[in-house]
Amino acid sequence: MGTAQLRTPGRLAWGRLLADRTGIVCGGIVLLYFILGIGAPVVSALYGHDAYTMYGQEQTGLLNEFGYPVKANGGIDGGFWLGVEPDFGRDVFMQLVFGIRTSLLIAASVVAVITVVGTVTGVVAGYFGGKTDFVISRVIDVVLAFPATLFLLAFTPLVLAFFVADDENASTGLRVAALIISLSLFSWTKTARLLRGQVLSLREREFVKAAKVAGCSPWRIMTKELLPNLWTPILVTVTLEVPMLVTTEAALSYLGVGIVEPTPDWGRMIKNGAAHYLNDITYMAIPGLAMLVFVVAFNLLGDSLRDALDPRSAR
């Protein structure tokens, strides 16, 4: 009897996840990225370099007369683990680590916003149906109709204009806030539409009808009866949204409407590296490879998490 009581759905899902080697490896990689991002100042102190000092301008023998690393592979050695940046000579490893923090801060903030907004609108639309569902669904359709990437390019500078007269003088904090607002406006619809469909199915189940007969309020039914049955799609959606938002934020920075100098950012590093790839491919390849590993690992972790929470979806 005691053993049976321990076999809760959560424990069973955790056991299936632990048995998935791919999920464990990818989870370890994702955890490493988060540890490096959160602990970037500690890593900097232990490593002895930061992301802003122009070591190539202060130390001789790092850059040649053309501004490129003297040593092979972008200047990788025992002092600079991933080399130095062309022209300025900043430490690439530190820029990468602090760039992780920038990207994850923006992605995590957007995911928190869109998860709350998408969950509320999706559950409300699915539960009440009728005119409420019609209005919310039409709003979702309108938002989905916008070409998101093009609109983000135009909308992000407008958000900055609300805070400062000239976006060139905008601080990093304002740029981060503008990116979070812009990305949130166009990213909540997928969560809302997914949960709306789930709730449309769940609201006809016996436990929901029993709650209605018992006189439970709509708020109680949505929070106590429906929401606990939606954690699986919510968690899976989060694991899919985080890597997508990381790449979107990097793309915006690459296109010049996101994070700019001197704040470390993967997109900005790739943008700067694109100007030097013929003479120093390492500087562009390192952040590109780091982003590729993160996105693939997070997506595979999402697949493993989905299969662990819902074994019927396993291939």
Whether residue 72 is predicted with pLDDT greater than 80 in this model: the reply is yes
Whether residue 257 is predicted with pLDDT greater than 70 in this model: the reply is yes
Whether residue 3 is predicted with pLDDT greater than 50 in this model: the reply is no
Question: What average pLDDT score do residues 234-261 get?
Answer: 88
Q: Which residue, chain included where needed, has tokens 């509320």?
A: 120
pLDDT of residue 58: 86
Alpha helix (H) residue ranges in 164-202: 172-185, 189-202
Whether residue 20 is predicted with pLDDT greater than 60 in this model: the reply is yes
Under DSSP, the state recorded for 160 is H
According to DSSP, the residues that pair with 91 across neighbouring strands are 84
Instruction: Supply φ then ψ for residue 63, to 5 degrees.
Output: -120, 145
**Hey, is 81 helix, strand or coil?**
coil
| pLDDT digits 0-9 by tens, 145-188 | 888 778 888 878 777 777 765 555 677 888 888 889 889 988 99
Q: What is the band of 232 on the pLDDT scale with cuts at 50, 70, 90?
A: confident
Q: Give me the amino acid identity at 120.
A: V
CA distance 137 to 80: 53
Q: Which is higher by pLDDT, 157 or 268?
A: 268
Whether residue 312 is predicted with pLDDT greater than 70 in this model: the reply is no
Closest CA to 97 of 35, 22, 139: 35
CA distance 311 to 308: 6
Element (H, E) at 90: none
Give the torsion through C-alpha atoms of 250, 256, 259, 265, to 10 deg.
40
- What token pair was written down for 89? 């000579």
CA distance 24 to 298: 11
Instruction: Supply φ then ψ for residue 51, to 5 degrees.
Output: -95, 0
What secondary structure does DSSP assign to 204-262, as a single string? TSHHHHHHHHTT--HHHIIIIIIGGGSHHHHHHHHHHHHHHHHHHHHHHHHTTSS--TT
pLDDT of residue 169: 63
Angle, to 10 degrees, between the axis of helix 172-185 and the axis of helix 231-254?
130
Question: What average pLDDT score do residues 72-86 get?
Answer: 90
Q: Which residue, chain included where needed, has tokens 């993967």?
A: 266
Question: What average pLDDT score do residues 216-245 get?
Answer: 90
Question: What average pLDDT score do residues 253-269 get?
Answer: 87
pLDDT of residue 1: 44
pLDDT of residue 47: 93
Number of H helices, E strands in the chain: 16, 0
Under DSSP, the state recorded for 54 is -
CA distance 284 to 278: 10
| pLDDT digits 0-9 by tens, 89-117 | 999 999 999 999 999 999 999 999 999 99
According to DSSP, the residues that pair with 63 across neighbouring strands are 69
Average pLDDT for the chain: 87
Closest CA to 100 of 183, 44, 40, 151: 40
Residues belonging to the chain: 315
pLDDT of residue 167: 57
Of 39-43, 59-63, 95-99, 154-158, which gets the smallest average pLDDT? 154-158
pLDDT of residue 311: 59
Q: What is the band of 310 on the pLDDT scale with cuts at 50, 70, 90?
A: confident
